[in-house]
A = this chain, B = another copy of it.
Amino acid sequence: MASIEARLAELGVALPTPPAPVASYVPFTVAPAGDGRLAHVSGQVSIDASGGVKGKLGAPLTLEQGQAAARLCGLNLLAQLKAACDGDLDRLVRVLKLNGFVNVAPDFDPIPAVMNGCSDLMVDVFGDAGRHARSAVGVANLPLGFAVEVDGVFLIR
């Protein structure tokens, strides 16, 4: 078993089935970059098989619910990344950048703590290769009212 798959099993993490391409955009693109390749993964919302997490942080959602939502985004990113790697997550070289968008009531500002739900997952799964640059901002709304959306740039081989 490949090492990242073993790590996922150790963590008890089951990746969701990555959603199929919808409309005119696709879940990821891959471009050459030096020795490796640059994968841009589309913004993943806080959805799962049971519906996911919708609503605004601050009201009605708590920080803890926001962190769980950000982790869902991370799981969806991993599922798409795995597809970008033709099923082999050991081809991940580095998580280069994550952009986190948190659906907030205008007075909610512990936005980094929410985004840690996604960032911590990357490091749990990939170790140092999962340590990434990131941005985290609070937005007025997200697609279909989801609580968090995260996209990413990944270096893969």
Question: Hey, which bits of chain A sit against chain B, CB under 8 A?
Answer: 21-29, 31-38, 40-43, 56, 93-99, 101, 104-112, 116, 119-120, 122-123, 130-145, 149, 151, 153, 155
Contacts and interface: CB of A to CB of B under 8 A. Distances in A.
A41 B141 contact: no
A25 B149 contact: no
A114 to B, nearest CB: 10
A113 to B, nearest CB: 9
Contacts of A140: 104-106, 138-140
8 closest cross-chain pairs (CB), A and B: A32-B34, A43-B135, A138-B141, A24-B119, A40-B97, A40-B133, A42-B133, A24-B123
Given A24-B116, A139-B139, 8 more contacts: A21-B131, A24-B123, A26-B131, A31-B155, A33-B38, A109-B144, A137-B143, A138-B140
Contact of A133 (B110, B138, B151): B151
20 contacts: A24-B116, A24-B120, A24-B122, A24-B123, A24-B132, A25-B131, A27-B133, A29-B94, A31-B33, A31-B38, A31-B94, A33-B34, A34-B37, A43-B137, A101-B135, A107-B141, A108-B141, A109-B141, A135-B151, A137-B139
Q: Which of A105, A106, A141, A153 has the most CB of B within 10 A?
A: A141
Contacts of A35: 32
Contacts of A25: 98, 119, 131-134
Contacts of A130: 24
